[in-house]
Structure 1
Amino acid sequence: MKNLMKILSYILIALFFISIYKDLSVGTTLTPENNIKQPQVENMVKTENITAMEVKVHQGDTLLTIAEKINPQVTNNLNVNKIVEDFKALNPTTDPVELQPGEFYFFPIYEKEAG
């Protein structure tokens, strides 16, 4: 019985070291850059005052996350109230807080300001 416990202990220790080796040598394939879903663009529309892009919403997306993804050039200068106001103007029957995954909505596109 004592030999069986020794053998079992050696096997568990070996499995432990093998798992550590695999974890450190193989690692993970998910990086933050790979894990971000890019917006699926269908159409671009220019209204009188707002340029917009039709984007398919994915699970977990919000108005602000999509606005940041499609406007990377002005991410630091985005005005939340303006984004919500423009979204409501582009999608008058949609509540910006309750976007449905799999649906397409129009999202405002902003130009980088000069200077």
Structure 2
Amino acid sequence: MKRLAGLIMLVLIIYSIYYDLSHGTLPAMSEQKEEVVSEVVENEIVEDTKIVFFEKVVGKGDTVLSIVEESLDSSIPVSIQQVVQDFEELNKGLKPEQIQYGKTYKFPDYKKVD
């Protein structure tokens, strides 16, 4: 009897894992939200900060560093702490780990940094 209960439990666990990986357990996003188009506004300057920035809609899996590196097509010419400080200043104190998929944020533009 214990073996039968163990076998049923094992089958249930395997099916749960399969279902979670194939269908997911999070609510489905509408197709309109999944097709986020990047909107980039080049080389604007915030009046009170003098930080050159661009705006971009955050896509799935994007981070502040990946977006900044993508805009440069290379590594970042300043420290990560500087990127974090500039991002927080441009976005009214918002921490980089708080960005959300589908929303637009301002990112520092380091294309002209020596």
State if a TM-score over 0.5 links the two structures: yes
Runs of 4+ more than 6 Å apart? none
Give 1 or 2 for the bigger CA radius of gyration: 1
Correspondence for 2:14:
none
Higher helix share: 1
Correspondence for 1:50:
51
1:76 & 1:100 partners in 2: Cα distance?
22
Number of corresponding residues: 74
TM-score by length of 2: 0.57
Amino acid at match of 1:86: D
Please state how far the C-alpha of 1:41 moved relative to its aligned partner.
2.6
Question: Residue deviations 1:5-24, cap 9 Å, x none?
Answer: xxxxxxxxxxxxxxxxxxxx
Does 2:39 align with 1:41? yes
Please state how far the C-alpha of 1:71 moved relative to its aligned partner.
2.0
Structure 2 portions without partners, runs of 5+: 1-36
Question: Residue deviations 1:65-115, cap 9 Å, x none?
Answer: 001011225x252310110000001001422112100000000001141xx
Correspondence for 1:68:
69
Correspondence for 2:107:
107
Matches within 5 A, 1:59-98: 59-72=60-73, 75-98=75-98
Structure 1 portions without partners, runs of 5+: 1-38
Identity of aligned residues (%): 28
SS at match of 1:77: coil
